[in-house]
Amino acid sequence: MLPQHKKLMLRNRWSLVLASSLMVATFLHHVNAHVTMIYPLPRGHPANPNAEFLDHDCTNAPLYDGCAGGRKIFPCGNYPPDKQITQTFEAGQIVNVRFASSEFGLPGQPTPLPTSDQARHSGGLCEFSLSYDQGKTFGVFARYHKSCPDLLYEWPVKLPDNLPSCDNCIFAWSWTGAVGAVPEYYMSCADIKITGKVPQGGLPPEVASTSLRLANMPGYPYDYYPGDGFGNMKGTGPSPEELDANMRGATGGPDPNSPPLQRRRRSLDSKNRGVDRRDGRRAI
C-alpha cells in the first residue's frame, strides 16, 4: 500500500498529464479545424500585406470560441480595417471567392487532395454580404447551401449591378456549419472599393433588407444547417441552380422555400454556451 504522500504525487502527475492533453487538444482544434476566406483577402490574414494586424493563430477560428483571448467577436472577428484599400471591384462584377485553411491554400503550401481533411464539416450555409457603414449593418446578396465552403472549388458571386460607388466598404463571408460538436459561426471581412454606375450612397434597399442569419453567438439561437454529407473531404461544390441564381443577381441568393434550420432549441450566451431558449426565437 502506497504512503499518502506518494498517492498525492501520482494524483498530481496524472492531473498534469490530463491538463497537458487538454491543452494539446485545444491547440489542435484551433490549428487544424477551421476555414477562412482567402479571396478577397480578409482583415488580419497573414497573407494580406495591408492588414493592420497580422493574426497567425486565429484567422481560421470561429467567432466566440475563445481564440485570441475571446477577442474574436462579431462583426468581422473584431479585426481592424486594412491600412490601405487596394482591392477594387465594379458593380456587377463576378467575384470568384476562394477559401483556405491553416494547412492548405496559401503560397508555398500543398494543395488539398479530394480526401484531405479540410475541416469543412460537410458545409452548411455560406452567406456573402456587403456593408457600406463599416460593419454596423450588412446586406446579403448571395448564398450557397449545403456544400459551401470547400477549398477545392471557387464560389462565384455577382455584385449587384446597381451598387453605388464606395471608397471604403466591406465584403463579408459568413458560414454556419452543418456538423460539429459545438455549432459555430465563422466570418471573414475584406476591405474593398466598389466602382458603381451611380454616385456614392448606401446599399440598394433590396440588399440592405436581406439580413445575415446570425447564430451560435451570444444572444442568438444555437443552429446548424443541412450539409452535403461528405464530412471534411471534397464535397459537391456549387450547385448549378444556386450558381445560376447568383449569376442572375437574385437578391439574397437562391433560397428555395426558405429551407428550415436544423434547430436545437438552445441558445448561447457569454457565460453559458448551453442556455435553453424559452422564447423559440428564430435566427435573423
Is residue 284 one of the residues assigned to a domain? no
pLDDT of 26 reads 35
Cell of 74: 462579431
Cell reading at 56: 497567425
pLDDT tens by residue, 47-88? 999 999 999 889 999 999 888 788 899 999 999 999 999 999
Residue span of the structural domain in which 154 resides: 33-276
Q: How confident is the model at residue 7 (pLDDT cuts 50, 70, 90)?
A: very low
Q: Domain for residue 174, yes or no?
A: yes
In a domain, 25, yes or no: no
282 is a domain residue: no
pLDDT value of residue 171: 99
Residue 88 in any domain: the answer is yes
CATH number of residue 202's parent domain:
2.70.50.70
Could you give the number of structural domains in the chain? 1
* Gap between the Cα atoms of 45 and 184, Å rounded: 20
Residue 22 lies in a domain: no
Q: Does pLDDT of 134 surpass 90? A: yes
Work out the burial of residue 95: count CB atoms within 10 Å of its CB; fewer than 13 is exposed, 13-18 middle, 19 or more buried: buried
Tens-place pLDDT, residues 196-206: 988 888 999 99
pLDDT reported for residue 37: 96
* pLDDT at residue 34, as a whole number: 80
User: Residue 83, SS3?
Assistant: coil
Give the CA distances from residue 24 to residues 31, 58, 253, 272, in Å, rounded to whole numbers and listed in that order.
Answer: 10, 16, 40, 23
In a domain, 16, yes or no: no
Whether residue 23 lies inside any domain: the answer is no
